[in-house]
Amino acid sequence: MTIDSLRAKRINQAGWDLRVGKGDRWTRPVGPEVIARARRGDWSVVLTPVKAVPTEWFGEIAGLRVLCLASGGGQQGPILAAAGAQVTVFDVSERQLAQDRGVAERDGLALATRQGFMDDLGCFDDGHFDLVFNPVSNLYAPDVLPIWRECFRVLKPGGILLAGFMNPTVYVFDPEAEDRGEMVARFRLPYADLKDLSQSELDEALAQRHTVEFSHSLDSQIGGQLQAGFVLLNLYEDRHPGRLISEYFPVAIATRAMKPR
């Protein structure tokens, strides 16, 4: 692990703890009414900004052993648990995991939590899970290939990986210009906050969102899943309402892949 990699991981671990305190969208637990509906079979979750994952991507949810990877915040994990899955939520942020435990306690859900970095799932045995649910999160990881390898390892043969990730083209454009209503190509890919921003820009970014981001090519996102051994089954794209860039192209991609039997 490089110094920058370790630095990024620690920044993002602390940053997500801070985001919980500030009420970030992805840190706000679902309400009891959402859990009640899920128990009745009326549920949906997202891998990307807004588009619901097709329920057929899950198959039969009851009894499914699910790893919600880098998915803390009291949202997807509790919904899937209420729908009947055996859920473990894995996240770097202890405060995010506390949101999941809070929903589980409030609504009487059986749900486990484990803390750690998404590229090291050594606390789980080979072939332990039926499904890995990994919403957009690997933009916070310097390297995605170890993540796909670990997902492959902890899935049983025939297991499913559902993953969301950013369209790398997003990182070409200057976010400050976008805030002014302009589309300005500024950065070469691959992009990294720690490499491509000036110190003053980095300081401002950390003050606003508390985390650092990395672009990853489709070679490493989709190709990386294939290199890890997965078979790609399906995908869709999604946009981000309210972002100018989303008027020009989809900002996120979701994939469904299988570990061969």
User: Tens digit of pLDDT for each residue in 114-123?
Assistant: 999 999 999 9
- When the pLDDT of each residue in the chain is averaged and rounded to a whole number, the result is 97
Q: Is 186 part of any domain? A: no
pLDDT over 80 at 3, yes or no: no
- CA 209, 133, 125: angle at the middle one, nearest 5? 115
Q: Which residue from 183, 171, 185 is spatially nearest to 217, judged by alpha carbons?
A: 171
Contact between residue 251 and residue 170 where contact means Cβ atoms under 8 Å apart:
yes
Place of tokens 């991507």: 57
Integer Cα distance of 230 and 220 in angstroms: 13
Q: Is 248 part of any domain? A: yes
Q: Is 207 part of any domain? A: no
Kindly list the distances between the CA atom of residue 192 and the CA atoms of 41, 143, 177, 201, 206, in Å, as whole numbers in the listed order. Answer: 41, 11, 18, 12, 13
Share of the chain above pLDDT 90, in %: 98
Report the run of H or E that residue 96 belongs to, with start and end: helix 94-107
Q: Is 198 part of any domain? A: no
Q: What is the band of 4 on the pLDDT scale with cuts at 50, 70, 90?
A: confident
Q: Is 160 part of any domain? A: yes
Q: What is the pairing mode between strands 252-258 and 231-238? A: antiparallel
Model confidence, pTM: 0.97
Q: What is the band of 75 on the pLDDT scale with cuts at 50, 70, 90?
A: very high
Q: Is 223 part of any domain? A: yes
* Structural domains counted in the chain: 1
Query: Across-strand partners of 89?
Result: 68, 113
Q: Is 180 part of any domain? A: no
Range of the domain at 65: 3-166+216-258
Share of the chain above pLDDT 70, in %: 99
Q: Is 187 part of any domain? A: no
CATH of the domain at 121: 3.40.50.150
Q: How far apart are the first and last CA of the chain?
A: 32
Alpha carbon 118 to its chain's center: 10
Longest pairwise C-alpha distance within the chain:
51
